[in-house]
């Protein structure tokens, strides 16, 4: 790393922060949108601060995780190209960068309120425990991943004083589990490396078991989303029962993603999968447009 230029180091730090993964923090904004509180300028500013805080916090977590897993990543056919594994930056630099990002995240929480700080602490704690051992425990590993999305949703609702929908929380939990088990399935069937070289927890999973979990969590996601669209609170908030008509679009989108996971080997990186499959992008755009039109925004 001694020959790395300042510009090269800056590029490596940006890659380490994974800004392309910030799209996951859209869950922070989802609760405000579906609660219709985004129409209030003050709430929208708080939600924006929460979103920015979680982008910084998520990047800090990526830095710490990569520093802890650097030796494993060097043996991985794809992860060995990451800045730390490739030797572009040092572990100390990664920890220092993570500290700066975390400080920025908590600085934003001072603006948004103490509840957001609680969400950030919970998010950091879950990810630290995950990195230090929970990722090796079957089922617990995926529930840790799912909890990260639930915490994001709570940060954008409870964290800034907006009441979250219980059905929407359950739908988010089930969707997160579905995506988490999709990731494990893709990793398990990846034929590029033998099982003994993959993450330890995969030895506790089998393709058959994961296929059952995918079916259960997919069904649960659609059921809880349908119940959310027809719940009395949703009808009261939006003043419309038309949100149920987005269910066929959501169903087709999840079925499409399941097809990509089961038949095309997708699932290991949801963000990259969305970029690689034009159909998924179109479905997301159609879903968003339908939601806006049906609710009369």
Specify burial of residue 189 (Cβ count, 10 A radius: 0-12, 13-18, 19+). middle
Q: Is the dihedral of CA 125, 131, 134, 139 positive or negative?
A: positive
| Residue 196 confidence class, pLDDT cut points 50, 70, 90 | low
Q: Is the dihedral of CA 182, 273, 131, 201 positive or negative?
A: positive
Quick: pLDDT tens for 270-294.
888 888 899 999 999 999 999 888 8
The Cα–Cα gap between 155 and 150 comes to: 9
The Cα–Cα gap between 87 and 8 comes to: 12
| Residue 2 confidence class, pLDDT cut points 50, 70, 90 | very low
Residue 146's pLDDT is 95
Residue 68's pLDDT is 87
* Contact (CB, 8 A) for 81 and 18: no
Q: Higher pLDDT residue, 138 or 239?
A: 138
| Residue 216 confidence class, pLDDT cut points 50, 70, 90 | very high
Name the residue among 214, 238, 234, 237 with its Cα closest to residue 226.
234
pTM: 0.86
Q: Higher pLDDT residue, 277 or 40?
A: 277
Domain boundaries, the chain: 1-162, 165-297
pLDDT at residue 162 is higher than 90? no
Helices (H) and strands (E) in the chain, counts: 13, 0
Residue 72's pLDDT is 80
Mean pLDDT of 45-54: 92
> Structure tokens of 110?
């001072």
Residue 6's pLDDT is 75
> Structure tokens of 255?
């079925």
| Residue 135 confidence class, pLDDT cut points 50, 70, 90 | very high
Half-sphere CA count of 271, side-chain side, radius 13 A: 9
The CATH number of the domain covering residues in 1-162: 1.10.357.140
Half-sphere CA count of 13, side-chain side, radius 13 A: 19
Percent above pLDDT 70 for the chain: 95
Q: Higher pLDDT residue, 43 or 182?
A: 182
| Residue 297 confidence class, pLDDT cut points 50, 70, 90 | low
Percent above pLDDT 90 for the chain: 59
Q: Higher pLDDT residue, 27 or 226?
A: 226
* Mean pLDDT computed over every residue of the chain: 89
DSSP category for residue 196: G
pLDDT at residue 164 is higher than 50? yes
pLDDT at residue 251 is higher than 80? yes
Quick: pLDDT tens for 71-83.
887 877 778 888 8
pLDDT at residue 101 is higher than 80? yes
* Contact (CB, 8 A) for 124 and 62: no
Residue 36's pLDDT is 64
């Amino acid at each position: 790393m001694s020959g790395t230029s300042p510009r090269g180091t800056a590029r490596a730090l940006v890659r380490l922060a994974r800004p392309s993964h910030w799209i996951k923090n859209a869950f922070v904004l989802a609760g405000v949108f579906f609660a219709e509180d985004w129409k209030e300028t003050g709430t929208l500013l708080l939600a924006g601060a929460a979103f920015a805080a979680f982008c910084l916090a998520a990047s800090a977590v990526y830095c710490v995780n990569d520093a802890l897993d650097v030796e494993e990543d060097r043996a991985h056919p794809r992860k060995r190209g990451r800045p730390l594994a490739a030797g572009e930056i040092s572990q100390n630099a990664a920890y220092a960068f993570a500290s700066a990002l975390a400080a920025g995240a908590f600085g934003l929480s001072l603006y948004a309120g103490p509840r957001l700080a609680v969400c950030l602490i919970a998010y950091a704690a879950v990810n630290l425990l995950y990195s230090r051992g929970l990722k090796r425990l079957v089922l617990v590993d995926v529930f840790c991943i799912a909890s990260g999305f639930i915490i994001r949703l709570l940060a954008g609702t409870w964290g800034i004083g907006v009441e979250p929908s219980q059905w929407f929380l359950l739908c988010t939990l089930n969707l997160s589990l579905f995506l988490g088990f999709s990731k494990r399935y893709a990793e398990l069937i990846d034929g590029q490396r033998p099982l003994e070289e993959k993450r330890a927890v995969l030895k506790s999973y089998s393709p058959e078991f994961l296929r059952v979990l995918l079916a259960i969590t997919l069904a649960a996601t659609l059921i809880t989303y349908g119940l959310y669209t027809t719940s009395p609170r949703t009808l009261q908030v939006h003043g419309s029962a038309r949100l149920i008509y987005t269910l066929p679009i959501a169903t087709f989108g999840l079925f499409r993603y399941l097809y990509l996971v089961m038949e095309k080997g997708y699932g290991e990186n949801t963000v990259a999968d969305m970029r690689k499959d034009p159909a998924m992008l179109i479905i997301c755009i159609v879903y968003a447009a339908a939601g806006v039109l049906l609710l009369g925004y």
